[in-house]
Amino acid sequence: MSIPENLQYTADHEWISLDGDVVTVGITNHAQEELTDIVFVELPEVGRECSEEEGIAVVESVKAASDIYAPLAGDIVEVNTDLEADPGLVNTDPHGKGWMFKMRVKDLSDIDSLMDSTAYTSHIGG
Protein backbone atom coordinates (compact mmCIF):
# COMPACT_ATOMS: atom_id res chain seq x y z
CA MET A 1 0.00 0.00 0.00
CA SER A 2 1.29 3.41 -0.93
CA ILE A 3 1.24 6.83 0.68
CA PRO A 4 -1.76 8.49 -1.00
CA GLU A 5 -0.95 11.86 -2.56
CA ASN A 6 -4.34 13.40 -1.77
CA LEU A 7 -3.77 13.19 2.02
CA GLN A 8 -1.82 15.30 4.50
CA TYR A 9 0.34 13.77 7.24
CA THR A 10 1.73 14.38 10.73
CA ALA A 11 5.07 13.31 12.16
CA ASP A 12 3.08 11.01 14.48
CA HIS A 13 1.93 8.93 11.49
CA GLU A 14 -1.62 10.21 11.14
CA TRP A 15 -3.22 11.01 7.83
CA ILE A 16 -5.66 13.91 7.33
CA SER A 17 -8.17 14.37 4.57
CA LEU A 18 -9.77 17.79 4.15
CA ASP A 19 -13.42 18.48 3.22
CA GLY A 20 -14.43 22.11 3.82
CA ASP A 21 -13.56 22.85 7.44
CA VAL A 22 -13.95 19.20 8.49
CA VAL A 23 -10.98 16.81 8.45
CA THR A 24 -11.05 13.03 8.61
CA VAL A 25 -8.19 11.47 10.58
CA GLY A 26 -6.69 7.99 10.68
CA ILE A 27 -3.30 6.33 11.07
CA THR A 28 -1.07 5.66 8.11
CA ASN A 29 -0.34 2.32 6.52
CA HIS A 30 3.19 2.62 7.85
CA ALA A 31 1.84 3.06 11.40
CA GLN A 32 -0.50 0.06 11.20
CA GLU A 33 2.35 -2.06 9.84
CA GLU A 34 4.47 -1.07 12.81
CA LEU A 35 1.68 -1.69 15.32
CA THR A 36 0.24 -4.88 13.71
CA ASP A 37 -2.72 -6.84 15.09
CA ILE A 38 -4.85 -3.93 16.27
CA VAL A 39 -7.38 -5.29 18.74
CA PHE A 40 -8.94 -2.19 20.26
CA VAL A 41 -9.43 1.47 19.37
CA GLU A 42 -10.50 3.96 22.03
CA LEU A 43 -12.15 6.92 20.33
CA PRO A 44 -12.84 10.43 21.62
CA GLU A 45 -16.36 11.59 22.49
CA VAL A 46 -18.27 13.48 19.84
CA GLY A 47 -18.34 17.16 20.78
CA ARG A 48 -14.97 17.08 22.51
CA GLU A 49 -12.90 20.18 22.01
CA CYS A 50 -9.25 19.38 21.44
CA SER A 51 -6.08 21.33 21.19
CA GLU A 52 -3.36 20.44 18.73
CA GLU A 53 -1.25 17.43 19.72
CA GLU A 54 -3.59 16.49 22.59
CA GLY A 55 -3.83 12.71 23.06
CA ILE A 56 -7.46 11.92 22.22
CA ALA A 57 -7.54 8.31 21.08
CA VAL A 58 -5.65 5.09 21.80
CA VAL A 59 -4.84 2.26 19.42
CA GLU A 60 -4.02 -1.04 21.05
CA SER A 61 -2.27 -4.00 19.49
CA VAL A 62 -1.83 -7.36 21.25
CA LYS A 63 1.29 -6.06 22.94
CA ALA A 64 1.09 -2.29 23.31
CA ALA A 65 -1.12 0.79 23.59
CA SER A 66 -0.27 3.84 21.44
CA ASP A 67 -1.69 7.34 21.78
CA ILE A 68 -3.25 9.10 18.83
CA TYR A 69 -3.02 12.88 18.90
CA ALA A 70 -5.32 15.56 17.55
CA PRO A 71 -3.45 16.71 14.43
CA LEU A 72 -5.04 20.19 14.68
CA ALA A 73 -7.13 22.17 17.15
CA GLY A 74 -10.89 21.67 16.73
CA ASP A 75 -14.06 19.83 17.78
CA ILE A 76 -14.80 16.14 17.25
CA VAL A 77 -17.90 15.88 15.04
CA GLU A 78 -17.99 12.15 14.30
CA VAL A 79 -16.16 8.96 15.23
CA ASN A 80 -15.92 5.66 13.34
CA THR A 81 -18.09 3.40 15.49
CA ASP A 82 -17.41 0.45 13.14
CA LEU A 83 -14.02 0.18 14.84
CA GLU A 84 -15.68 -0.90 18.09
CA ALA A 85 -16.80 -4.16 16.51
CA ASP A 86 -13.95 -4.47 14.02
CA PRO A 87 -10.74 -2.71 15.11
CA GLY A 88 -8.88 -4.79 12.50
CA LEU A 89 -10.19 -2.37 9.84
CA VAL A 90 -7.27 -0.15 10.84
CA ASN A 91 -4.94 -2.93 9.65
CA THR A 92 -6.83 -3.96 6.54
CA ASP A 93 -7.88 -0.52 5.25
CA PRO A 94 -5.98 2.18 7.17
CA HIS A 95 -6.67 5.01 4.70
CA GLY A 96 -10.31 4.03 4.11
CA LYS A 97 -12.66 2.07 6.38
CA GLY A 98 -10.12 2.31 9.17
CA TRP A 99 -10.60 6.08 9.62
CA MET A 100 -10.92 7.13 13.26
CA PHE A 101 -12.57 10.50 13.74
CA LYS A 102 -13.68 13.68 12.01
CA MET A 103 -13.08 17.09 13.46
CA ARG A 104 -14.14 20.63 12.62
CA VAL A 105 -10.92 22.58 12.44
CA LYS A 106 -10.66 25.81 14.41
CA ASP A 107 -8.17 27.55 12.16
CA LEU A 108 -7.86 26.30 8.60
CA SER A 109 -4.45 27.90 8.18
CA ASP A 110 -3.11 25.26 10.61
CA ILE A 111 -3.39 22.80 7.71
CA ASP A 112 -0.24 24.37 6.24
CA SER A 113 1.81 22.91 9.07
CA LEU A 114 1.04 19.33 7.91
CA MET A 115 3.26 17.26 5.63
CA ASP A 116 2.38 16.28 2.10
CA SER A 117 2.97 12.75 0.83
CA THR A 118 6.49 13.54 -0.39
CA ALA A 119 7.53 14.99 2.97
CA TYR A 120 5.93 12.06 4.82
CA THR A 121 7.68 9.55 2.57
CA SER A 122 11.04 11.00 3.49
CA HIS A 123 9.94 11.27 7.15
CA ILE A 124 9.55 7.48 7.33
CA GLY A 125 12.76 7.00 5.41
CA GLY A 126 11.07 5.81 2.22
Partner 1 sequence: MSDNVIKSSPLESLHVELGGKMVPFSGWNMPVQYTSNMDEHLAVREAVGIFDISHMGQFILRGDGAEEWLNGLLSNDLKKLAVGEAQYTFMLNEEGGVIDDLIAYRFGDDEIFLVVNASMIDEDFSWLCNQLDEGLELTNESNEWAGMAVQGPDSAARYEKLFPRRTLPKRNGIDVWEDDGVRYMVCNTGYTGEDGFELFVSVEQGISWFKLFVDSGAKPCGLGARDSLRLEVCYPLNGSDLSPKRTPIEAGLGFFCALEKPFIGRDALVRQKREGLKERLVGIKYIGRGAPPRAHYGVYSKSGNQIGYLTSGVFSPSLKEGIGMGYLPVEFANVGTEVDIDVRGRMFPAIVVKKPFYKKREFRHKSTSNF
C-beta of 85: minimal distance to partner 1 in Å?
8
Residues 83/99, Cβ–Cβ less than 8 Å = no
C-beta of 42: minimal distance to partner 1 in Å?
6
C-beta of 9: minimal distance to partner 1 in Å?
23
User: What are the helix and strand counts (H, E) for the chain?
Assistant: 4, 9
C-beta of 60: minimal distance to partner 1 in Å?
5
Distance, in Å, from the CA atom of 106 to the CA atom of 99, rounded to the nearest integer, reads 20
Nearer to partner 1 (CB atom), residue 49 or residue 60:
60
Binding site for partner 1 (CB under 8 A): 36-37, 39-40, 42, 58, 60-63, 65, 84
Nearer to partner 1 (CB atom), residue 16 or residue 83:
83
Nearer to partner 1 (CB atom), residue 53 or residue 84:
84
Distance, in Å, from the CA atom of 113 to the CA atom of 16, rounded to the nearest integer, reads 12
Residues 68/14, Cβ–Cβ less than 8 Å = yes
Nearer to partner 1 (CB atom), residue 72 or residue 90:
90
Among candidates 110, 104, 117, 92, which has minimal Cα distance to 38?
Answer: 92
